[in-house]
Structure 1
Amino acid sequence: MNDSGKDGLPAINTLVDVVLMDGEAYQSRVEDADGKRLTVAAPFGVNSADVPEVGSIMELAWVAGDRRHAVDVRLAELTRERPPRWSLEAVGSIRLQTRRNYVRGGGGEEVEVTLGGVAYQGKVVDLSEGGVRCRMEDDRFDRDDRVDVRVQLDTGALALRGIVLFVRRDHENATYDVIITYETNEIMGRAIRGYVLRREMEERRRNRESVANAG
């Protein structure tokens, strides 16, 4: 065993966040480290009914220096000792995150933007807890317009009230990119975080499978 943080992974006693597939983050600490295998204390606050199955993919995040790092991990084992521990195996590359920005993702979802009682249809380019970038065919929006946004996710539709931050014309495709900011409550924020995380993980899984099949 080692505690050096070799390979860029967090060292023993590092405080970490374990982010489950629903986007919810739980605090923990690294108890042991061996190569790409980390043992962490069972994350605080996870209900027994929400404990993932062995083999599940999740995210591990931690702060090193002044930067936040994250890596995809697979739940390799659940121990029965007291206190209980989770054995996690890194399955992806370490990436940098910034706490000041929301994680953005998605793309292609149906979106409806309503201005002055008229609804306009478009597609999501990307979205986050703090805003959405839409591709619209109609030139109907200006900066500071107050609009209602309805985004269709795999778990259902989200209805949000926002303000147009920026409009940019795409001359090549004769469309308009409309960036809308909004504030979300914890329930909506959690739904968007979970959705973005699932999309990212699915994309990385497809990329890994594509590389494996090509080999």
Structure 2
Amino acid sequence: MSALPELNTLVRVALGEGAPVLPSRVEGVEGDDLLLAAPSYVGDVVGPRVGSTVSVHWTSARGVCSVPVEFVAAERSGIKLWRVRLNGGVEFSQRRRYARVTTGGPLSLAADDLETVRVGWMLDLSEGGVRARIAPGAFSSDEPVEVRLTVEGELVTLVGSVVRTAPPVGGFEEVTVSFPDDHHAADLVRRFVLQEQVRLRRLAAENG
């Protein structure tokens, strides 16, 4: 049981291939059952069916953790909850290091309740996350956020987690958001980063 996420741990729930990864929080641990705050989702996303298998992901001192679980029921105990039951062992993996490039372009960050939204500007981007400048005071470390940005003309929506914020300078603060490993836009972002690296090397050589 020690390998499982503890009470109040921020987690991500992956509904399956091609489906979004949703932010949640552990509200209780009962034997092999986890009680998760029912994630918020919009659009045409459909919640899991009873008996279906989803996966829960979180970060610990040992690295990125994941475990398959069976969706048991939707419950309510003051808040809406998802009851899921362990359906396998916890797997651990060290988070990969990603190439990062300086870039610009607008983006938006929204809290998981979609009520707090900030529009900002990208500073750099990698397959594993983004650093941006936004109006201060909106988000705190470890808070799950929905990120919307444009890569190669394509709108990308990802659910990530705030890693750190820097003190405001000139009325704006820097915020760093990490993305889940192997997210649905990984190939697109990776291609963009590689192309930017090549372009910047050529530019440096021409100006050298």
TM-score (norm 2): 0.44
Structure with the bigger percentage of helix: 1
TM-score (norm 1): 0.43
